[in-house]
Amino acid sequence: MSTSIKELKSVNLASFTIIMTAIAVLFSIISSIAIVIGIGIASPGSIGVSLYLIPTIIVGTFMYTIYNAFCEGFLFNIISKKVNTIKLAFADEKELIKVSTTQTAIIIAMIITIQVILIYLASSFILPLLLSSIMQTLMFSGQEMIAYSIYQILMLISQPMIIAMIIFGTFIISFVFVLLGTYIYNILANTGRGAVFNLTKEDNMTAIESIDTLKLGIVFAVVGGVLNLISALITLISGGEILSFLINVIVGFISLFIYGILIAIFYNFLAPKLGKIKLELIDQ
């Protein structure tokens, strides 16, 4: 078995944004239909109205994912030039057997934190107008206490100290969880259960031709499941119920396994039609 070390220098924004958006739209179609069916079972009389949820969810997912995927790729390409790049180890040019831990955690935490800042800046213009309208409606309807509570919340979250705590907390939490996730992945990959990709060279880029479905499902189930277990334990220690803890852990493992498999299936289906994700991988 030959091992190669590569640096992930950048991602192709167009291919990354298109594929990630298409995958998210497929998930939104499935989830919106499931929601409508659930509403129909719970309240058969509401099935006609709930049908409008399907295009709303799909269009909303489409618009948000275009922004989010492009933003993630764009920020990664910028940050990777300023910070140490993510290093990846492949076995036989296919199986991802190791991911650099600290560099990955720093870069992803920075991307998430910047996105939170951007969302906050955007919401600082829109949210006050929205809340002002809601407060006026509540005042006219005699709900002064609720309106006053909303005002207090608005004033609280607009405090510079609260904003700084949210930004700092986002970075720390993201860094810790990504660091743990990469450690867990590396342990899993050492047992021969790492994610497997079919990679091909296209000019100076590396294209992901396909993804092994079962392997990716196992990765999502183990890595995401362990992180979910840690979160559930924190909730349990904080006063949560043992039954909720068990349900959360079991459902988390199963749903993440299915989610990982579906991502691989969707990617393998969409990549030949919409274009494969292309990465700039530099040999070490």
**Which neighbouring-strand residues pair with 4?**
90
211-235 tens-digit pLDDT: 999 999 999 999 999 998 888 888 8
What percent of the chain stands above pLDDT 70?
A: 83
**pLDDT recorded at residue 246:** 86
C-beta separation of 144 from 138 below 8 A: yes
Whether 23 shows a pLDDT value over 90: the answer reads yes
Domain boundaries in the chain?
3-283
> What does the mean pLDDT of the chain come to?
84
Whether 134 shows a pLDDT value over 80: the answer reads no
User: Rg of the chain over CA atoms, in angstroms?
Assistant: 22
Please state the pTM of the whole predicted model: 0.83
Instruction: Identify the band that residue 132 occupies on the pLDDT scale cut at 50, 70 and 90.
Output: low
Better-predicted residue by pLDDT, 269 or 151: 269
C-beta separation of 136 from 217 below 8 A: no
158-207 tens-digit pLDDT: 566 667 787 888 899 999 999 999 999 999 999 888 999 999 988 789 99
C-beta separation of 200 from 206 below 8 A: yes
Whether 35 shows a pLDDT value over 90: the answer reads no
What percent of the chain stands above pLDDT 90?
A: 49
Alpha-carbon distances, residue 96 vs 32, 55, 139, 268 (angstroms):
34, 38, 58, 18
The pair of three-digit structure tokens given for residue 122, joined into one six-digit string: 């955007």
- Tally Cβ neighbours within 10 Å of residue 173: 13
User: Residue 98 belongs to what H/E stretch?
Assistant: strand 95-99
Better-predicted residue by pLDDT, 34 or 152: 34
